Amino acid sequence: MPAFATDRASCGTAWRKRRVKPFVTSAASAGGLRIAAVNLHAAEAGILPGMPLADARALAPGLEVAAADPLGDSEQLTKLAAWCGNFSPWTAPESVGSGPDGAGIWLDATGCAHLFGGEEDLLRELVQRVQRLGFGVRAALADTAGAAWAVARFAPLKDGERVTIVPPGATAAALAPLPMAGLRLPGPVIEGLAVLGLRRIADLMTMPRAPLVARFGGSVTDRLDRALGQMNEAISPLVPEVPHRERLGLAEPIGTRPALEAALAHLLTDLCARLAREHSGARRLDFALFRIDGQVAHVRIGTSRPVREPKHLARLFAEHLDNVEVGEGIEVLTLTADSVEALAADQLEMPGPALDHALATAGVADLVDRLTNRLGADAVLRLVERPSHVPERAGVTVAAARHGEETPIVLPPGRGERPLRLFPTPFPIDAVAPVPDGPPVMFRWRRVLHRVARAEGPERIAPEWWRTSLSWTTPWEETTRDYYRVEDESGRRFWVYREGLYPLGYEPVRKEDEDEADTSAEAIAPAMPRWFVHGLFA
């Protein structure tokens, strides 16, 4: 795409002027605004990237100017590369450059061409579609990435033909007449070669190598070798190659929900048949919908265990299909299993309790998936008990979808010693306890006064000293809790505790000498224990 940046800035009907007139983007640099990228008309007027903006205005009086946005360009190129994923699973964006290099996208067409009726048809289709998105484009296919890069940019246009295919084995012949810039060399190196009279790639091919390496380092010969396929070149693709992927291309764009469901069912059937052959199941699936306007919508689901049942997976997707933005229609759909785990062939149990149990377990796993995909992983939980005396640690919840990582501990049936309900944070209450180490006789909780009819306790629970997370500076006496099971007069049962112990020799305040006691209490200022409600019994 020789004018990617300016094409991007002139997309849309509002910017028609930018497409028919000289148009440049400018960026601030030392010495004022300079041209960053030019469109075709500006290039014809003789405007070059790097030129001061004032000079450009002198060359083309009606010049359209916009601020350069390299970040936006780079983002758009990545999006476009992702969109090209409907031609080949292996795509990668090039870095956005300015000047004659423009911007480019790598595609590995190996094994994809037959889907489009041959290499040439694939390229024509690609070029046509990218042009429709508003980008001027040329495409080349060659044995090596370097040769394709050079041919796409520097091969002369024959009769406006935008597609060039270098036949296998003809790489050297195709490269020979191209200028030195086709080797992706830095500007100073190209200038240096030009000084020596080496302007075409053909000039390099016949040169002895040692002087070249001595003068320019290894880069020149390396680039040449890569372009000719004598040296390997690694390009990292945008999407890592995934083996479990199904693609569905459509003749007419679709947008309705039943059509999407039918397409999904088709893809799921193919994918699950393949998973069954490989004795595996999907844990994570990505349903990508390629829209005709160049956007890609994704629907992702996860399961709590490997699954390869089309029906179950379709149900999980069904929750999210309503939220998909279909835009003007969807033409290509792909379904990818990002995460695949081994899943042995289903073995049916003999009819009986074992079969019932197996079916129930499978049904619950399906249910967990459905609930989790709709409500979120932190909304569907399993209760887990841990061996700890501290109430908050003894009973916790973990996400059901992640369950199975820890083995549950088996404990004897309870005998009513723990409440059915526990508050996440204990509520402070005002309690009156006549005996320092005794239960409260009354307490006020949520503005209601509860008179204690019966109490059981205390059960002393001290912090776990082996846990370093607890502050060592807090004295043991202050963090120790005495729990009581209390029942108020109306029969409601609470789990209350006193945090800390009453200081030694503490006398409970009597009504008659309250004033006196107040002053003395302030004088000594002992840390008075506090009362909390921690849970509710049934």
Partner 1 sequence: MPQAIASLEALRTRIRAIEAPGEYRVASMGTPEIDAALPWGGLPRGCLHEIAGTPGDAGAAIGFAAALVGRLHAAHEDARQVLWCVRGDTDHEVGALYAPGLRSFGLSPQQVLLVRAATTAQVLWAMEEGLRAGGLAAVVAEVDDVDFSTSRRLQLAAEARGVTALLIVPALSAVSGAVTRWQLSSRGGEGEALAPRRADSALHPKWSVELTRCRGGAPAAWEVEWNHASNDFAVVAGVRDRSRELRHGLAQAAG
Please classify residue 208 by burial: count the beta carbons closer than 10 Å to its beta carbon, then call 0-12 exposed, 13-18 middle and 19+ buried.
exposed
Question: One symbol per residue from 452 to 471: x for binding partner 1 (CB under 8 A), - otherwise; what is it?
Answer: -xxxxxxx------------
- Which residue among 30, 353, 519, 525 contacts partner 1 (CB under 8 A)? 353
With CB under 8 A as the contact rule, the residue among 385, 406, 478, 507 that binds partner 1 is 385
Residue 415 binds to partner 1 (criterion: CB under 8 A) = yes
The secondary structure of 452-494, three-state, reads EEEEEEEEEECCCCCCCCCCCCCCHHHHCEEEEEEEECCCCEE
Q: Point out which span in 55-63, 124-132, 338-346, 362-370 binds partner 1 (CB under 8 A).
A: 362-370
As a dihedral over the C-alpha atoms of residue 91, residue 95, residue 100, residue 106, rounded to 10 degrees, the angle is -10
Residue 112 in tokens: 């994809």
- Our finding on whether 350 is near partner 1 (CB under 8 A) is no
Does the footprint of partner 1 cover residue 411 (CB under 8 A)?
A: yes
Per CB under 8 A, does 429 bind partner 1? no
396 binds partner 1 (CB under 8 A): yes
Between CA 471 and CA 248 the distance in angstroms is: 60
CA–CA separation, 259 and 458 (whole Å): 66
Stretch that binds partner 1, among 60-68, 255-263, 337-345, 483-491 (CB under 8 A): 483-491
Q: What is the DSSP string of 241-292?
A: --SSEEEEEEEEEE-SHHHHHHHHHHHHHHHHHHHHHTTEEEEEEEEEEEET
Q: Does 93 bind partner 1 (CB under 8 A)?
A: no
Establish if 436 lies at the interface with partner 1 (CB under 8 A). no
Write out the two tokens for 55.
Answer: 């000079």
Contact with partner 1 (CB under 8 A) among 267, 400, 496, 501:
400
The number of CA neighbours under 13 Å toward the Cβ of 269 is: 7
> In 91-200, where does DSSP find H-type helix?
119-132, 145-154, 171-175, 187-195
Sheet holding 64-67, edge to edge: 32-38, 23-29, 64-67
β-partners of residue 58 are none
Residues 6+ apart with CB under 8 A from 263: 248, 250, 254, 333
Q: Could you say which residues in the range 519-538 bind partner 1, by CB under 8 A?
A: 535-538
Looking at the Cβ atoms of 294 and 426, the one nearer to partner 1 is: 426
Q: Which is nearer to partner 1, 208 or 412 (CB)?
A: 412
Q: Which of 62, 111, 416, 526 binds partner 1 (CB under 8 A)?
A: 416
Q: What is the DSSP letter of 179?
A: B
Count residues binding partner 1 (CB under 8 A).
68
> Could you write out the DSSP letters of every residue in 35-69?
EEEE-HHHHHTT--TTSBHHHHHHH-TT-EEEE--
- Residue 375 lies near partner 1 (rule: CB under 8 A): yes
Based on the shown chain and the rule CB under 8 A, indicate whether residue 191 belongs to the binding site for partner 1.
no
Gap between the Cα atoms of 460 and 482, Å rounded? 4
Closest distance of CB 428 from partner 1, Å: 13
Q: Return the residue of 276, 321, 422, 442 that touches partner 1, per CB under 8 A.
A: 422
Closest CB to partner 1 among 168 and 413? 413
Between 190 and 371, name the residue whose CB sits nearer to partner 1.
371
Return the range that interacts with partner 1 (CB under 8 A); candidates 2-10, 197-205, 482-490, 497-505: 482-490
Only one of the segments 73-81, 192-200, 251-259, 371-379 lies at the binding site for partner 1 (rule: CB under 8 A); that segment is 371-379
DSSP 3-state of 449: strand
Q: Which is nearer to partner 1, 257 or 451 (CB)?
A: 451
| Residue with smaller CB distance to partner 1, 500 or 535 | 535
Q: Does 492 bind partner 1 (CB under 8 A)?
A: yes
Distance (Å, whole) CA 271 – CA 32: 57
413 binds partner 1 (CB under 8 A): yes
- 139 SS3 class: strand
> 245 and 112 in contact (C-beta within 8 Å)?
no
455 alpha-carbon distance from chain centroid? 54
Specify the length of the chain in residues: 538
Least Cβ distance, residue 488 to partner 1 (angstroms): 8
- The residue (of 233 and 392) whose beta carbon lies closer to partner 1 is 392
User: Does the footprint of partner 1 cover residue 349 (CB under 8 A)?
Assistant: no
- Pick between residue 489 and residue 516 the one whose CB is nearest to partner 1: 489
Q: Is 362 exposed, middle or buried (0-12, 13-18, 19+ CB in 10 A)?
A: middle
Task: Figure out which of the listed residues 77, 163, 166, 380 binds partner 1, where binding follows CB under 8 A.
Answer: 380
Pick the binder of partner 1 from 29, 95, 397, 520 (CB under 8 A).
397
Q: Is 490 in the site for partner 1 (CB under 8 A)?
A: yes
Judged by beta carbon, residue 29 or residue 361, the one nearer partner 1 is 361
**Angle, CA 227 vertex, CA 225 and CA 231 arms, to 5°:** 40
- Which residues contribute to the site for partner 1 (CB under 8 A)? 353, 356-357, 359-364, 366-368, 370-371, 374-375, 378-385, 391, 394-397, 400, 408, 411-425, 438-439, 448, 453-459, 485, 487-493, 535-538
